[in-house]
Structure formats: C-alpha cells, structure tokens
Amino acid sequence: MSAFTMQKAIWTSFGIALVLVNVIAEVGEYYTGIHVHMLLRIALIVGVTIGASVLAGATILVSKMDEEVPLSGHVKDTLGADRRKAD
C-alpha cells in the first residue's frame, strides 16, 4: 500500500509543480518582462518534486507507526548494548 501511495504522491506533486512553475513563470514574464530560463524552471520542478516526496514519505512513515509491533522481548535475540553479558 505504501509504495503505491508514494508513487501517487510523487507523480501528483510532479504534475502540479510542472504546471504551476510554468504558469507562474509565464505570468511573471508577461507582467514584469523578466524571462525565466527553462533550466531554472526544470530545477524548480525537480526541487518541488523532491521536497514533496520527502514530506510524503515522512507522512507515510508516521502513519505506519501504529502498525509497528514490538520484538520478542528476549534479551538473547537482541544485538545491541542492552544484551546481558554471561556471568
């Protein structure tokens, strides 16, 4: 479920960024006369898409925290510093 949701979020943010960046650049050029180069537009689109994918991934991870189950609880099964040394 999460992979499909992540794909949907990335493609949606890419489409919205593609349209909005170009519309804002064209309207800005019409009113101010300042031309925004296509390379800068592409960089903005990629930046917005990456930012939205990071935020969507964080949202998915936070929503999955409720489904997390604890480990078995036996000290022998852990590998960290909490493992008790043999006496």
CA dihedral 16→22→28→31, nearest 10 degrees, is -110
Mean pLDDT of 64-83: 64
User: 6-23 pLDDT, tens per residue?
Assistant: 889 899 999 999 999 999
Can you give the pTM of this predicted structure?
Answer: 0.69
Q: What is the mean pLDDT of residues 62-66?
A: 83
Report residue 67's pLDDT band, with 50, 70 and 90 as the boundaries. confident
Kindly state the DSSP code that residue 85 receives in the 8-state scheme: P
- Both structure tokens of 32: 């101010």
CB contact burial 22-46 (16+ within 10 A = b; e otherwise): eeebeeeeeeeeeeeeeeebeebbe
